[in-house]
Structure 1
Amino acid sequence: MRLLNIYCWILLLSCIFINLCMFGILDSRNQLVWKVGVFFNRLTEPVLEPVRRLLPMPGGIDFSPMVVLLGIQYVVQPILVELFRMLIMR
């Protein structure tokens, strides 16, 4: 459960980071900023890319992070909670 919460925070931070770069607040030519971007990209893209292929992008807005966050919160975590309860009750 804690790993899923950490991943949710990483996903949120990645979205904030991308927006800061897109609006020119962070300079992606800076080596540190670039490395942080690559780090976030490597952590989030394996999960976001399949969702992006399935979702349309109305107006060029990427809703895949929101779909992944909602999926983690309302699908994956409840399934894991029930699985752990079943294992403990055995």
Structure 2
Amino acid sequence: MIIDIIIYLLGILTMIIIIQAILSWLVAFNVINTYNDFVRQFLYALDRITEPLYKPVRKILPDFGALDLSPLVVLILIQIIERVLRGVQSGSPLI
């Protein structure tokens, strides 16, 4: 039961990271107007949610300039955690 809740929350976190990454691309290519108050607040909220996850990964990864791979690394880590939890839940080996 608790593992199901954790897996569900990890799924929500995955969607938040994907939405934040796509929106950051749209802002970088000037598709989204950041002068709009709602858009700016929404982007700020997403940044506040995801930044604590990205910060430790950014300390480890080398600097790639404008290319930020930390969302990809965090998504891979989330997938690994989900697999481990599903293995624990089913009682089978972890992989």
How many equivalent residue pairs?
A: 85
Q: Which 5+ residue runs of structure 2 have no aligned equivalent?
A: 1-6
In the superposition, the TM-score normalised over structure 2's length comes to 0.81
- Among all aligned residue pairs of Structure 1 and Structure 2, give the percentage whose two residues are the same amino acid: 33
Q: Secondary structure at the match of 1:79?
A: helix
Q: 1:81 aligns with which of 69, 78, 86?
A: 86
RMSD: 1.3
How far 1:14 sits from its partner (Å)? Answer: 0.1
Q: Which 5+ residue runs of structure 1 have no aligned equivalent?
A: none
Q: Tell me if 1:24 matches 2:30.
A: yes
Which residue does the alignment assign to 2:3? none
In the superposition, the TM-score normalised over structure 1's length comes to 0.85
Q: Tell me if 1:5 matches 2:11.
A: yes
CA distance, structure 2, for counterparts of residue 30 and residue 50 of structure 1 = 31
Q: Could you tell me which amino acid in structure 2 is paired with residue 79 of structure 1?
A: V
Whichever structure has more helix as a proportion of its residues is: 1
Which residue does the alignment assign to 1:68? 74
Q: Secondary structure at the match of 1:56?
A: coil
